[in-house]
Amino acid sequence: MRFEMRKLLVEMPDETIVKVPYFTCGSREPVLYIQAAQHGVELTGIYTIKLLMEELRREEKLDGRLILVPVANPLAVRWRRHFYKMELGEPYSSEHPHQMNRLWPGKPDGNETERLAYTIYENLVSGAEYVIDLHCWEMWRCSAALGLEWDKASTEMCRYSLLEFVSLSPKNRFTGRFKGVITYVVTEAGGHAMTIEHSGQRWVFKEEASRICNGILNVMRYLGMIKGEPIMPQEQFIVGRSPHKDLYAPKGEWLIILNKGPGDRVDKGEEVVKLVDLNTLSEEVMVSPIRGVIYEVGATRPNVDTRPSEEVLVILKGERYRVATIYESKS
């Protein structure tokens, strides 16, 4: 299987040109579009696409057409922040004018990021039946597939991603600027889409890339694009709906010591974190109340990925702090 590299040329408001490389393979239906790096610190998806291309080069045949955009937002990647023109320490926000995943299908005469979205959408996304949007969230949360619960194909793509955690959004979630999320725009236009969130930002996490690459290959088998039968997941949890338990730290000032990470399996009574009192250095051990899989652990405050001080594993006096969320396993 061979890939052809091409480039989109996007004219900016100041008349400079930004190049967006992409790779194509195949010529028939269905058309699957995959992109990464809408946000400038979410880098592992770029490597996931590289691994996917390496795996697919070993395949003899592709039934359909594949379009790959490793860096959908080169402006944000070069800015080294989530959004182009984002200030240091500025919280992640849906209201930022360069929040690319609120701007689809873009505007031909808009700001820099709107023009990127418009050119990519018109030339590549609009002709695709299926879309996979690769992102990365905090390293304290397990990777997950995010689907649209009213679209069966989207939920099935999530299922065959083989990721243990799936989050399904209802249609009424997409109001205001959320109507500019690419998966919603694609679905409203008659396509089918899902998002995959890798665990970890700013660095490239090779194990995450490899695991998610394998999941995408399985989705492609489900879509009939490559040979082989798709694998059914052994166990999946629906975030917020499947049975789970939250662990909260007792009152006090604590240093959090992690004994487990996101995605780790734990037995009932097994130690998850250790808390060290900042004043006395006494210890408090927190164990899992159930047998299950850890979804979140450690720095669980909102938007910790954009505010480095919030990632510090210290619990403050008077703070009601959730140190972990564990989903109950039946396997």
Give the amino acid at 25: C
**Domain definitions of the chain by residue range:** 4-222, 243-328
Give the CATH architecture of domain 243-328: Beta Barrel (2.40)
pLDDT in tens, the chain (331 residues): 899 999 999 999 999 999 999 999 998 899 999 999 999 999 999 999 999 999 999 988 999 999 999 999 999 999 999 999 998 878 788 999 999 999 999 999 999 999 999 999 999 999 999 999 999 999 999 999 999 999 999 999 999 999 999 999 999 999 999 999 999 999 999 999 999 999 999 999 999 999 999 999 999 999 999 999 999 999 999 999 999 999 999 999 999 999 999 999 999 999 999 999 999 999 999 999 999 999 999 988 777 776 666 778 899 998 899 999 999 999 8
Q: Would you state the pLDDT for residue 308?
A: 65
Distance CA 73, CA 40 (A): 7
pTM of the entire predicted model: 0.95
Q: Which residues lie below 8 Å from residue 14, measured CB to CB, with a gap of 6+?
A: none
CA angle 25, 29, 34 (to 5 degrees): 55
Q: Which residue has the tokens 């690459």?
A: 213
Which of 146, 134, 180 has its CA nearest to residue 39? 134
The DSSP element (H or E) to which 183 belongs, if any, is: helix 182-188
Q: Which residue has the tokens 């955009």?
A: 69
Which of 146, 10, 28 has its CA nearest to residue 75? 10
CB 285 within 8 A of CB 271: yes
Residue range 4-222, CATH number: 3.40.630.10
Q: Give the rounded distance of the alpha carbon of 179 from its chain centre.
A: 18
Q: Which residue has the tokens 């005469």?
A: 109
CA angle 236, 302, 111 (to 5 degrees): 100
CB 139 within 8 A of CB 201: yes
Which of 7, 23, 8, 41 has its CA nearest to residue 117? 8
Q: Would you state the pLDDT for residue 184?
A: 98
